[in-house]
Chain A
Amino acid sequence: MKSEQKRASLGQDSAYNCALTAFADAVLEGRDDVAPYTNNYLGVHRMALGNIYLCVKEVLGDGPFAALAGVYVKHFPASQWDVNRYGERFSELLAAQVNGVKADAFDWPAIAALAAIEYAITEQYYADNDLKHGGEPTVIEAEATVQLHQGWIHRLAALHPYADIAARLSFESSVAVWREDLRIKVMPVDLILDTGDGPS
C-alpha cells in the first residue's frame, strides 16, 4: 500500500461520508435530480419480486402484481446484499389482502401459500450445500382449508423447471421444500411420511 497514512478510515463527519449520506437520502426521498436512482431502487426490487414470484405474478396478472410489489418495496427495505433473497415477507402482504378493498377478487390465502412455496424454491436454489442435500428443508404451513388450484400447480412446475412438485398441494399437513442434488422437491409432509421419500 502506497499511502497508508492517507487511508485512515473515514469519520462520520468526513466530507466524503456526508456526500454519500446526502446522495443516499436524496434517492430514498425521490428528489428530482437523482430520479434515475430512485426509479432504479424501486425497479430493481420490484423486478426481484417478479423473478421470485413467477407463478403468483401469473395468477394475479401484471397490474395487480405490480401494485402489490410497489407497496411491498416502499414498506420493506432490503435487509441484505443478496437481492435474490429479497421479498421474504411478500406472502404476508398477500395474506393480509383478505382485509383489503380487493378481498373478494382473489383466493388470497391460497395465493399467499403459493408465494411462500415460490420463495422457498428460490431459497433452496441458492441454499448452502451440506454433504448430501441442499439447505435445511423449508416447511410451509397454512390453514388446513387452503388448497392450491390444480392449474396453478401445473404452472408452478412449468415456471420452475428444476423443481419436482407434487401433483396435489393442500395444507391438511405442512408442505416441505428441499433440495436433492440438482432437483428441488415440493411435497406435502403427509405424502412424504406415506412414501418414505423426503429430506434425510
Chain B
Amino acid sequence: MTAIGCKGVGLGLRSPHLREVIRDTPDVPWFEVHICNYMGGGLSRALLAQISERYPLSFHGVNLNLAGVEPLDEGYLKRLKAAVDEFNPALVSEHACFNTHQGQFFHDLMPVPFTDEAVFHLAGRVAQVQELLGRPILIENLSRYFTYDQSEMSEGRFMAAVCEEADCGLLLDLNNAYVNQVNLGEDLNQFIAELPLERVGEIHLAGFTEQNGMLIDTHGAPICDAVWKAYKDFCELRADVPCLIEWDNNLPSLQTLMQQRDVAQGIFDEASGKLTGVVSA
C-alpha cells in the first residue's frame, strides 16, 4: 500500500461512524484513527482496511506509555509495527505522557515533570520507537490539571527539547494548550513561541467541558472561539500543517463533525491562499 499524505483538515474516525464512512465515502481528505483499537485482528481491523483503500490515514496512539518508567511493551510495539507496515499511514503519533505505572493501567494521559532527566528519558524512548518503526513519529502536548513542583522548565521548552533530542515531530494540540492556559495560567502564545514550529506535523482541534471550575479536555463539545482564534493565528505562521477535528465523548453525527471540519478547512484555505498569493473563493 502506498503512503498518501494527509493534507488539509481531516477527521478523527470513531467506531460508530466506520460503517457510514465506508458506505457514504464522505468528502474528507484524511482520517485519523486511535490505532490501539485496531492492533488486534478482528472486525475492526477489516473495516479499517476498507477505509484505508479510500482515505489517507494517520495513526494516533494513547497507550504507548512513552514517558513511563517501565520498559516499553514489546508486544504492543510489535503490533504497532505490524499495523504501520500493513497500512503505511501518512502520520504516526503518540503523547508525551505516561499511562502505566508499577503495573497499574490508568488508560489516561498523565503528565510528567518538565526536567532534563525527563527530556532524556522520553527522548530515548521516542528514538527507540522511531528506530523500530523505521520512521519518525510525532509527540503531542497534553492537557494538564496538575503542575509538578519538580518542573524546571516550561512545557514549550520541554517539548522543544524532546523533539530536538529525539529528532521527532510535534503534534500540536491547540485545545490542550488553551485548557492549560485557563486551568494553569500558562500563556498559550508563549507556549507556541517556544515550540520548534518547523517540527509541527499535525494540529489537533477539539472541544472541552467545564467541570467544577476547570476545563476538562473531554473532546465532547464543539471547538470554542478561543481555540478557533488560536488556529487562525497558527495558520498565519504555518498554513501547510494537516489539521484534525477530534471528538470522542457525546459523539455527534458525522454531519456535525463535517461542519466543524468545514470551518477549519476554510481557515486553512484562507491562510494558504494568503501565503501563496491565491485568494480562495
A interface vs B, CB < 8 Å? 1-3, 6-7, 10, 14-17, 19-21, 23-24, 27-28, 33-37, 39-41, 44-45, 48, 77-84, 86, 124-129, 134-135, 161-162, 179, 181-182, 184
Contact = CB atoms under 8 A, between A and B. Distances in A.
Given A81-B76, A124-B43, A19 B148 contact: yes
B44 A2 contact: no
For the residues of A in contact with B, the DSSP-based class is: helix
Given A15-B115, A81-B76, A129-B41, 4 more contacts: A10-B69, A27-B106, A81-B65, A161-B19
B100 to A, nearest CB: 7
A16 B121 contact: yes
Contacts of A19: 112-113, 148, 150
A8 to B, nearest CB: 9
B42 A126 contact: yes
Given A6-B120, A7-B120, A128-B40, A37 B102 contact: no
For the residues of B in contact with A, the DSSP-based class is: mixed
A34 B124 CA distance: 28
Contacts of B37: 84, 126
A78 B107 CA distance: 9
Contact of B68 (A20, A80, A125): A20
Interface of B: 19, 36-37, 39-47, 63, 65, 68-69, 73, 76, 98-102, 104-108, 110-113, 115-118, 120-121, 123-124, 127, 145-146, 148, 150, 165, 167, 211-212, 214, 216
A82 to B, nearest CB: 7
Nearest to B113: A19
